[in-house]
Amino acid sequence: MGTQSTAWAVVLAAGPGRRLSSLTTDTGGRVVPKQFCALARGPSLLRRTLTRLARVVDPDRTLVVVSSAHRAWWQAELADIPPKNVVIQPCDRGTACGVLLPLITILHRDPEARVLVSPSDHYVRNEDTLVRSMTRALTCVEERPERLLVLGIGADHAETEYGWITADPEGEGPVREVTSFVEKPDAERARELFDDGALWSSFIFMATAKTLMTRYRRSLGWLVDRFDLAFEFSGGTRRDVIDQLYDGLPSVDFSRQMMQRDDNSFSVLAVPPCGWTDLGSPERVIECVRSHNCPFMEDARSMSSQARGTGSRPVGRQRELPLGLPDLAEAAVRAIEHEARGRGARTHQLAWAAPTRRPPGSADDTASRGSRPRARSA
């Protein structure tokens, strides 16, 4: 695969998805993490991510980090992923632990690897633009293996709910040195950042496995030591070791501990505006789907007017969710309708039933998965 011969991907899919729980809480009170939800009748956000990454990295070298508590949602979804590539955390201990665990696995399997880390619950309208940028960034890391490179998204408005990246205007080619990471600024600061040409932080980053581990040892040496000691001296199975290790770990955030505290060790590659969103709020879900002119978005527009106290009362289309897969777009539409009608409850209860696994290759299986990258034989 040319310059991609040592590229690996890590997909972070263990998050609890609390920020969007108002749209993804089922009738039993369980919050369905948004990475397992569909968007406007498409595949799940996790599946979209895997399909996107398959254009950049061999699926045999893609590791998916999940939580054992979410097995009901990821077991069928990841049926086509080699079991050794599914990294199961017993509980959520933050993104720093979520990256370190698969990094150790990759270093054991391929010490010379380049690693691309990606969230699993974001959406991008122009896939080609993001794919080109990821491919280019991996090439930059190959040429400069000491780099830890993050993708910055070209901003189209002064968003207060995203992290921002400022960069040195001087540099070689498309890559600039990061001068600061700014997490969720207030409105005035966001406008300054936007006017100055700062970028949104996508939390998609890449480095050689060795460089990334070196940065871990520098910023979070105590955490690496805990992992090293657990795997070196425990006589139990790998699963038991991980369970015991995570039981005693605090939650550690990669952005705060690795990016914001050591920002001058990062470089940034600017991605042109590509319709990227983290879908972190019901409002952003509605705005994302509205821009795609989906069949039920006329309802969304009228519901939005009703929520603001204008327009006629909307009548939402109550559609059966395909194969029990939660659909964020329809849930958001119904949530706005619920609020507009003044029924009081703020949390929208989304009827949900766990998808059942179907025989691989069956018509129902193909329909439920959409277009999926197939893992090649090792």
Q: Is 332 within 8 Å of 285 (Cβ atoms)?
A: yes
Residues 316 and 335 in one domain: yes
Position 359 scores a pLDDT of 37
The Cα–Cα gap between 156 and 288 comes to 13
Between helix 282-290 and helix 328-340 the angle, nearest 10°, is 110
Which pLDDT does position 349 carry in this prediction? Answer: 44
Domain boundary among 246, 261, 277: 277
- Give the pLDDT score at 286: 77
Task: Let me know if residue 92 belongs to a domain.
Answer: yes
Stretch among 43-47, 81-85, 225-229, 321-325 having the lowest mean pLDDT? 321-325
Domain identity same for 51 and 135: yes
Position 82 scores a pLDDT of 94
DSSP letter string, 161-194: SSEEEEE-S--STTEEEEEEEEES--HHHHHHHH
Q: What pLDDT is recorded for position 300? A: 44
Task: Note the pLDDT tens digit of each residue in 209-221.
Answer: 999 999 999 999 9
Residues 142 and 286 in one domain: no
**Global pTM value:** 0.80
Q: Please indicate, yes or no, whether residues 8 and 114 belong to a single structural domain of this protein.
A: yes
Taking a C-beta distance cutoff of 8 angstroms, is the pair 141, 208 a contact?
yes
- The pLDDT score that the predictor gives to residue 38 is 84
Residue 359 lies in a domain: no
With cut-offs at 50, 70 and 90, classify the pLDDT of residue 293. low
- Rounded mean pLDDT of 361-371? 42
pLDDT tens-place string over residues 224-240: 999 998 887 655 577 88
The pLDDT of residue 314: 30
Are 14 and 144 in the same domain? Answer: yes
Structural domain includes residue 181: no
pLDDT for the residue 263: 60
The mean of the pLDDT values for the chain is: 80
**Locus of tokens 């958001």:** 332
Q: Is the same domain home to 75 and 203?
A: yes
Domain boundary among 277, 308, 342: 277
Q: Is residue 115 part of a domain?
A: yes
Measured CA to CA in angstroms, residue 205 lies from 23, 134, 145, 334, 352 at distances of 29, 9, 13, 35, 34
pLDDT classification of 298: cutoffs 50, 70, 90? low
Q: Please say which residue of 254, 277, 300 terminates a domain.
A: 277
Residue 276 · residue 163 · CB < 8 Å: no
Rounded to the nearest 10°, the torsion over CA 102, 108, 113, 117 is 0
**Domain assignment of residue 120, yes or no:** yes
pLDDT for the residue numbered 352: 37
Minimum mean pLDDT among 51-65, 76-90, 330-344: which range? Answer: 330-344
pLDDT band at 134 (very low <50, low <70, confident <90, very high): very high
- Note down the domain range covering 318: 282-350
Picking from 265, 278, 264, 139, the residue whose alpha carbon sits closest to that of residue 204 is: 278
Q: Distance between CA 159 and CA 184 in Å, rounded?
A: 8
Residue 342: pLDDT over 70: no
The answer to whether residue 21 is domain-embedded is yes
Q: Which residue has the tokens 């590509």?
A: 274
Band (335; pLDDT cuts 50, 70, 90): low
Give the SS3 label for residue 141.
helix
Examine the domain organization and report whether 121 and 227 are in the same domain: yes
CATH number (domain holding residue 215)? 3.90.550.10
233 and 311 fall within a common domain: no
232, part of any domain:
yes
Q: How many domains does the chain have?
A: 2
Share of the chain above pLDDT 70, in %: 74
Query: Which residue has better confidence, 19 or 119?
Result: 119
Structure confidence at residue 172 (pLDDT):
65
Q: Do both 249 and 288 map to the same domain?
A: no
CA dihedral over 165, 166, 171, 173, signed as positive or negative:
positive
Pair 253, 342 in one domain: no
| 256 & 346 share domain | no
Whether residue 215 sits in one domain with residue 264? yes
The answer to whether residue 175 is domain-embedded is no
Model pLDDT for residues 254-282, shown as the tens digit of each residue? 988 888 876 678 999 999 989 899 988 88
